[in-house]
Structure 1
Amino acid sequence: MSSTPQTYTVSDFIEWNTKKQLNLSPDFQRGSVWTPSAKVFLIDTILNDLPMPQVFFRTKIDASTQTMSREVVDGQQRLRAILEFAAGKLKLTSKSPKFKGKTYSDLDIEDQEVFLSYKIPCVQLINADNSMVLEIFARLNSYSVKVTPAELRHAEYIEPIKWAIYDASRDWKYLWNELGVVSVRDSVRMKNVSLMAEFFMIFDIGFGDGGEPTITKYYKSRKTEPEEFFLPIREKIDAVLEEIIDNLVDDFWETTFFDAPNFLVLFAAVAYLMYGFSDSRITEGVEDFKAEGVNWEDAIETLAEISQEFESEHNDEGEDGRYSDFVSASKSTTHRISSRKPRFQILVKAISNHDA
């Protein structure tokens, strides 16, 4: 047995499948489980010539008959989607914005050529038995970096909630790539998707305890909701982010308010003042401010004062500034409601249009 890293084009797999030299359903494989959204996302990856993970297949060579067959060990969901699209049985959706509404035959000749010539990274396991296949994957997994909860959710969930949050994270890449609300390094591990999930949670269930277990619980609770359920939430998220960026980015993007923990609290405060949300755990005492609007002139002044307190050495020496409660709460566990509530309420009262 040998393992050989190689690349094969999409057209190679189409040819093997046509000649019945490709087995997508060996005994150790499960059936097709991908949703249409997941399939479309993969095809969009290919049409945009972006990388995809390696495909592992076992190549059985029969010297007596001079024939060769291939059993897919890892990657059959990807290959099923590719073959389905090539056969004209998959229409692209909004998960592929540039090619929305098209089947393979609807693509321009140039795009069809891009699709067919796309190189899929592969590893051939030549004449490997089942025990050797299991040994290889055990070794591969022993070198793997532990996945983050966000990566695990992205792998586990195939429902609309996953795509609603992921698409919003991708569309708002300006937050991560340019403003660094979540660093590029952390965004690679999908921590930006976790932050976006909390934006969805604020409008859906309120602003309480956060953290990865809470986010996972939210995914589970909304697992059966259709795509349409998330559209109005997304519209509000976009509006709040646009307001924050339009009014604050020039003066505050290098301050604590554009670091994930306090950006989240700022988002929650602006969201509450623009639209309101129901969550008595954190809104008790500021109910009169709900949907009263933001006074951006006051907001800029207040955020500047808080930012200065963060930067001032006297906060580390125990001296109390006007917003010492905000600064102090920011230093504790930032995903607990006990830390979020004082910061949220201070911002709501300080930047609202409400006449106190």
Structure 2
Amino acid sequence: MDRVDYQSLVIQDLNNLHKADELDLSPWYQRRSVWAPAQKSYLINTIFEQKPIPALYIRHSLDLEKSKSVKEIVDGQQRTRTMLSYCNDEFSAKHPEHSNQSVKFSQLTKAQQQKFLLTSIPIGYLLGATDSDVIDIFGRINSVSKSLNGQEKRNAAYSGEMKQLCLRQASSRVSFWRNCNVFTANDIARMGEVQFVSDLIYSLINGLSSYSTANLDNMYKMYDESFPQMDVINNQLDFVFDFAASINPNKISDTVFNRQPIFFSLLYVIHTKQPLTIKKVEKAIIEIDERFNSDTNKSPEDIEFYTACSATTQGIASRRIRHSYILSFM
């Protein structure tokens, strides 16, 4: 292969190429289109929000029999199909200028349609690529999923209302995570804070529960296309996090409460025990931290709490012990 030449095409260009039969969306090594409706809608919403999307990789070749050039989609088939099918009014997507209601292409204003069609899509042209080059590149691009953690896999697999709620709640609180020192930069880079929010949402829906990868996977799947409780859960999260953000961040960052499992328990207590005052919560945090770090005069309850913070911290038994203990100081 000679090189990769990065350029761009607007969505209307892709539409024109497809209508002219100059876009090969089904090369023999590609998967069939398998995106769920929620994934399609999420991509279109991403374009509406003017957020970046991954580049398409295209091998440009000539069909000598038909005397025309052909652009073969090496990577990005499903993204391309999604953009084309939206232009054909085949599904709807949420638009920020329509009160985030789902709309089809035909329901956009003329100005909105034009803006969508003129959206620039990054293209990587594989120049001089042989079939062997293409297979190697396709394999390299798609091998990244082998190293994804559980939350990154959920993020890749789902695009609907549950994923969007978790991402929105987690990403809007970056300053909070940093101030409280609950998550490291690497945790955030690997979506640890999104998984934390997902886990909290699961307990808000189902009552205090164990952490379980399978439970979170099922929750994302169940509420991918529709999450009727979204507004209620969103408001509950806003209240809990806004309350926690009013606590002196040093009371969390400099105490045992900067540990994710214990911080989770604090948030769940804030959710269940109201009314509370910031002063009362800060006093409780200090007292609990002092008892936790004390080597003497530990009560049976102190010892039980210490144990619940030190082993199998994500199980329901440990979570119930921590919840009851913290609650007793409120």
How does 1:299-318 map onto structure 2 within 5 Å?
A: 299-309=281-291, 315=294, 318=295
SS of aligned partner of 1:228: coil
Do 2:180 and 2:249's aligned partners in 1 also have CA atoms closer than 8 Å? no
Q: Does 1:344 align with 2:326?
A: no
Structure 1 residues 108 and 141: alpha-carbon distance in aligned structure 2, compared to 1, 3 A threshold: closer
The equivalent residue for 1:196 is 197
SS of aligned partner of 2:136: helix
Do 2:179 and 2:249's aligned partners in 1 also have CA atoms closer than 8 Å? no
The equivalent residue for 1:181 is 182
The equivalent residue for 1:287 is none
Structure 1 residue 304: Cα displacement = 1.4
How does 1:134-213 map onto structure 2 within 5 Å?
A: 134-140=135-141, 146-176=147-177, 179-213=180-214
The equivalent residue for 1:252 is 251
Distance (whole Å) between structure 1 residues aligned to residue 144 and residue 78 of structure 2 = 24
Structure 1 residue 214: Cα displacement = 4.1
The equivalent residue for 1:43 is 44
Do 2:74 and 2:138's aligned partners in 1 also have CA atoms closer than 8 Å? no
The structure showing larger relative contact order (alpha-carbon pairs under 8 Å, at least 6 residues apart) is 2
Structure 1 residue 154: Cα displacement = 1.6
- For normalisation by structure 2, the TM-score amounts to 0.79
SS of aligned partner of 1:14: helix
Structure 1 residue 225: Cα displacement = 7.5
Distance (whole Å) between structure 1 residues aligned to residue 152 and residue 3 of structure 2 = 28
Structure 1 residue 78: Cα displacement = 1.5
Distance (whole Å) between structure 1 residues aligned to residue 144 and residue 218 of structure 2 = 29
Distance (whole Å) between structure 2 residues aligned to residue 183 and residue 97 of structure 1 = 36
Structure 1 residue 70: Cα displacement = 1.6
Distance (whole Å) between structure 1 residues aligned to residue 269 and residue 199 of structure 2 = 13
Do 2:308 and 2:319's aligned partners in 1 also have CA atoms closer than 8 Å? yes
How does 1:325-344 map onto structure 2 within 5 Å?
A: 325-344=304-323
Aligned length: 322
SS of aligned partner of 2:69: strand
1:31 alignment partner AA: S
The equivalent residue for 2:56 is 55
The equivalent residue for 1:12 is 13
1:215-268 CA distance string (max 9 Å, x none): 335445x3577321333222222222222223x145524234244222211011
SS of aligned partner of 2:229: helix
2:235 alignment partner AA: E
The equivalent residue for 1:33 is 35
- For normalisation by structure 1, the TM-score amounts to 0.74
1:316-338 CA distance string (max 9 Å, x none): xx445564543443233321234
Please provide the CA RMSD for this pair.
3.6
The equivalent residue for 1:282 is none
2:253 alignment partner AA: E
Deviates more, 1:248-257 or 1:193-202: 248-257
The equivalent residue for 1:241 is 241
Sequence identity percentage: 22
SS of aligned partner of 2:118: helix
The equivalent residue for 2:226 is 226
Distance (whole Å) between structure 1 residues aligned to residue 277 and residue 65 of structure 2 = 82
Do 2:22 and 2:68's aligned partners in 1 also have CA atoms closer than 8 Å? no
Structure 1 residues 232 and 51: alpha-carbon distance in aligned structure 2, compared to 1, 3 A threshold: same
2:40 alignment partner AA: K
The equivalent residue for 1:122 is 124
Do 1:61 and 1:126's aligned partners in 2 also have CA atoms closer than 8 Å? no
Deviates more, 1:332-341 or 1:265-274: 332-341
Distance (whole Å) between structure 2 residues aligned to residue 115 and residue 180 of structure 1 = 43
Do 2:5 and 2:127's aligned partners in 1 also have CA atoms closer than 8 Å? no
The equivalent residue for 1:79 is 80
Structure 1 residue 347: Cα displacement = 0.8
Structure 1 residues 139 and 297: alpha-carbon distance in aligned structure 2, compared to 1, 3 A threshold: closer
Structure 1 residues 161 and 50: alpha-carbon distance in aligned structure 2, compared to 1, 3 A threshold: closer
Distance (whole Å) between structure 2 residues aligned to residue 142 and residue 31 of structure 1 = 18
Do 2:75 and 2:138's aligned partners in 1 also have CA atoms closer than 8 Å? no
1:183-220 CA distance string (max 9 Å, x none): 34322222112111111111222223214344335445
Do 1:46 and 1:118's aligned partners in 2 also have CA atoms closer than 8 Å? no
2:200 alignment partner AA: F
Structure 1 residue 92: Cα displacement = 4.4
